[in-house]
């Protein structure tokens, strides 16, 4: 049941316009949601790497701060 997507040739703006004209036809809304989910998943993947980098830098700053405090209190 892998049918070709008949709405793939529509741009995002055309999908919104068609959905506004044919409110009872939910195919346009379904396609908009599918595209939104796909784009959100891609963005989530990019943000995951940024979160990892932020965690690494936070741990490094914490370690350097701890070392600075230890050297200051020791001396």
Q: How many domains does the chain have?
A: 1
d(CA 17, CA 12): 9
Is there a domain that residue 5 lies in?
A: no
Q: Which of 36, 31, 24 is nearest to 6 (CA)?
A: 31
Is there a domain that residue 4 lies in?
A: no
Output the average pLDDT for the chain. 88
Q: What is the pTM of this model?
A: 0.57
Is there a domain that residue 6 lies in?
A: no
Range of the domain at 29: 12-74
* Angle 23-12-36 from CA coordinates, rounded to 5°: 90
pLDDT in tens, 9-26: 888 888 888 888 887 878
Is there a domain that residue 2 lies in?
A: no
């Amino acid at each position: 049941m892998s049918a070709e997507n008949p709405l793939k040739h529509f741009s995002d703006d055309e999908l919104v316009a068609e959905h506004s004209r044919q409110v009872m036809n939910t195919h346009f809304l379904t396609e908009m949601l599918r595209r939104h989910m796909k784009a959100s998943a891609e963005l989530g993947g990019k943000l995951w790497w940024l979160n990892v980098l932020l965690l690494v830098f936070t741990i490094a700053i914490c370690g350097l701060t701890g070392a600075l405090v230890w050297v200051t209190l020791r001396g």
